[in-house]
Amino acid sequence: MNMVKNLGKTNSPTQIREKRKMQKTIISTAKAPAAIGPYSQAVRVGDMLYTSGQIALNPETMEVIAGGIVEQSKQVLDNLVQVLAAAGADINSVVKTTCFLSDMNHFADFNEIYATYFSQQPPARSCVEVSRLPKDVLVEVEAIAMITS
């Protein structure tokens, strides 16, 4: 029987296989904006996916899209959908989002767009106003998703 010692504890082959499932995998796609700093678009650990915050960048030009909160919210969520897809997940896999708004007066407009993406069994969510976001965008959204495939 193949056993591995770890800090005085013995692991069974099943435990070893489970630990291997928990390895960290970096997720990257050209269909969403490239990271603009030292971070990954998303990281998968086991069956969980943790995305970095998505902002309203056009993935092809890496420029902030024109428009207000409605246009930026759509771009942010489109970018998020692409990152999820690159990891084998989709919008219905999301269990939690954290949403950052540059102005809480945008909350109603943001919510209207957000609801079109998360129309069935919406995830848990936090939504906060922050003093400033990268590239002075109006909104940023990060997510945690469960990968079932």
Question: 11-40 pLDDT, tens per residue?
Answer: 776 665 566 567 999 999 999 999 989 999
pLDDT tens digits for range 92-145? 999 999 999 999 999 999 999 999 999 999 999 999 999 999 999 999 999 999
Of residues 73, 69, 26, 68, the one with CA closest to residue 45 = 26
Buried b (16+ CB within 10 A) or exposed e, 95-122: eebbbbbbeeebeebbeebbeebeeeee
Q: Hey, which residues does 11 pair with through a beta bridge? A: 4
Full DSSP string of the chain: ---EEETTEEEPHHHHHHHHHT-EEEE--TTSPPPSSSS-SEEEETTEEEEPPB-SB-TTT--BPSS-HHHHHHHHHHHHHHHHHHTT--GGGEEEEEEEES-GGGHHHHHHHHHHHS-SSPPEEEEEE-S--GGG-SEEEEEEEE---
Answer yes or no: is pLDDT of 10 > 70.
Answer: no
Q: Which residues are catalytic?
A: 127
- Domain ranges for the chain, please list them: 24-146
Q: Check whether 5 has a pLDDT greater than 90.
A: no
pTM: 0.86
For position 22, what pLDDT does the model report? 79
Query: Which is more confidently placed, 149 or 136?
Result: 136
Instruction: Please say if the pLDDT value at position 60 is more than 90.
Output: yes
The dotted CATH code for 24-146 is 3.30.1330.40
Band of residue 86 on the pLDDT scale cut at 50, 70, 90: very high
